[in-house]
Amino acid sequence: MTEKAATPLLLLHPSRGLIDEKFSLMVQNLSQIQEITLHALIHSDDGDYWEAFGHYVSDATGLVNVANDSSLGGTYDGVKPMGLLWSMRPVPGSRIGLRLRKKEVHTPMLVHISVYRGHMSQGFKEQVALASVVTERWYMSPGVRRVDITEGGITGTLFLPPGPGPFPALLDLWGGGGGLVEYRSALLSSHGFVSLALEYMTPRTSGGSTSHVGNEYFEAAFTVLKQHPQVCGDRIAILGLSFGTSVALGMAVYSTVIQPRCLVCVSGSHVQPVKGSLSDVFSEINKYVYYHVFKDVGQLKCPVLMIVGEDDQNWPATESAEDMKQMMEKAGNSHLLTTLSYPGAGHLIEPPYSPHIRASNFMVAGTRQKFVVLWGGETAPHGYAQEDSWKKTLSFLEEHLYRSTEVTSPSNL
């Protein structure tokens, strides 16, 4: 009697982890030198489906180990252990201009991973998988608390790490798209930092208007953090993406209230069209394509980490970083500047393993004007930039916010 072949087995570890945590993935019990396709599928909070896939060939023992084996094709190639995540794209027939963003951070992102016979590039829904697993990817680790903030005239969400603290903190500023974006703050809190995700383009407390959002608004947010009983008031950083970088630099240079311990500036610039409220700023942006007010970064007194994608098609991030370097050298404070520059990376440098978004829909804050914006970047180098810059961002924050022995050390999550 012929011995029945063993059923293919898909092994993934850990089955539950933080979004920036690597997993191991193997397929066992295959035939020798068998062609297979590994396929990952996500159903987003917006109701859209995203997928990625890689083509593999088993070894003489019937094993595929994604950590060591090369993908021969698909949405990524080569030895890319996390390629099934960062190379994701909307499934064929999806709406145009999509962007994968987690809206409900108290729930996991569920990734369905399946193995199929042969090398496939389409029609996965019509085929029967040899084996499947589901992994939970979280932005919030167990014990992290989420608190809505409306005090002091500001709108935001505060994330607190487990334990009594006090903890170092961050003011988290996203870019010009508006809305309240929480997932980065949730992840930062999972690494031991209090983080306030601030809504400032369309704050709900003002009916969506930005006419009152000026220096005082950001100073109020900084003060809320500083006075929180679980925050080390003299250990607060600001993290800005895109337009959030201009805000962060402006506050650090000109405000007498905001005195950050350090800054992290992602894909941004040290220029701003006009002084005044955000409605004044965006009124000018909609009229002109040039920027003419430079932040006097020579006055910076805190360490700055600049993260730049060299294929940024949205902001002059590379040119701004070089100009900042020259201005700070002239002022004698260039020792405070660290620049990470990534060839082939675009504008939207997000936490690790987020899909590369080369272009997506964008709505100008305070208007109903909607269009597709080119962010730039190539998928593989952009994915590398996200992974590398995030590790170095956490190290930078730990160095400048957790150096003192008086501060509670971050827990191992």
Quick check: helix, strand or coil at residue 306?
Answer: strand
Same domain, yes or no: 110 and 164: no
Inform me whether the pLDDT recorded for 271 exceeds 60.
Answer: yes
The residue type at 191? H
Number of compact structural domains in the chain: 2
Q: In this structure, is residue 216 part of a structural domain?
A: yes
Same domain, yes or no: 122 and 151: no
In this structure, the strands spanning 370-374 and 359-363 are antiparallel
Q: Which residues are bridge partners to 64 per DSSP?
A: 27
CATH number for the domain spanning 129: value is 2.60.40.2240
Inform me whether the pLDDT recorded for 413 exceeds 50.
Answer: no
Walk across the sheet containing 131-138 and list its strands: 16-18, 131-138, 109-117, 35-43, 49-57, 89-90
Same domain, yes or no: 100 and 178: no
CA angle, residues 167, 173, 175, in degrees to nearest 5: 160
Q: In this structure, is residue 331 part of a structural domain?
A: yes
Mean pLDDT lowest for which of 56-65, 87-96, 286-295, 337-346? 286-295
| pLDDT tens digits, one per residue of 137-185 | 999 999 999 999 998 889 999 999 999 989 999 999 998 776 899 999 9
Same domain, yes or no: 180 and 126: no
CB 62 within 8 A of CB 328: no
Q: Would residue 172 show up in a list of annotated catalytic residues for this protein?
A: no
Domain that holds residue 171: 145-401
Q: Would residue 242 show up in a list of annotated catalytic residues for this protein?
A: yes
| pLDDT tens digits, one per residue of 376-393 | 999 999 999 999 999 999
Q: Would residue 347 show up in a list of annotated catalytic residues for this protein?
A: yes
Same domain, yes or no: 358 and 376: yes
Same domain, yes or no: 301 and 336: yes
Same domain, yes or no: 178 and 47: no
Same domain, yes or no: 182 and 318: yes
Q: Among the options 312, 354, 382, 400, which is catalytic?
A: 312
Same domain, yes or no: 287 and 149: yes
Q: In this structure, is residue 150 part of a structural domain?
A: yes
Domain limit, last residue, from 90, 113, 138: 138
Q: In this structure, is residue 2 part of a structural domain?
A: no
| pLDDT tens digits, one per residue of 298-322 | 889 999 999 999 999 998 889 999 9
Q: Among the options 242, 246, 269, 354, which is catalytic?
A: 242
Q: In this structure, is residue 411 part of a structural domain?
A: no
Q: CB neighbours of 274 closer than 8 A, spacing ≥ 6?
A: 280, 281, 284, 293
Q: How far apart are CA 395 and CA 413, in angstroms?
A: 15
CATH number for the domain spanning 258: value is 3.40.50.1820
Domain limit, last residue, from 123, 138, 153: 138
Domain limit, last residue, from 80, 107, 138: 138
Cis peptide leading into 166, omega within 30 of 0? yes
Q: In this structure, is residue 410 part of a structural domain?
A: no
Average pLDDT over residues 246-262: 92
Same domain, yes or no: 95 and 180: no
Q: In this structure, is residue 3 part of a structural domain?
A: no
pTM confidence score: 0.89
Q: Among the options 55, 191, 270, 347, which is catalytic?
A: 347
Q: In this structure, is residue 52 part of a structural domain?
A: yes
Same domain, yes or no: 354 and 330: yes
Same domain, yes or no: 272 and 288: yes
Quick check: helix, strand or coil at residue 116?
Answer: strand
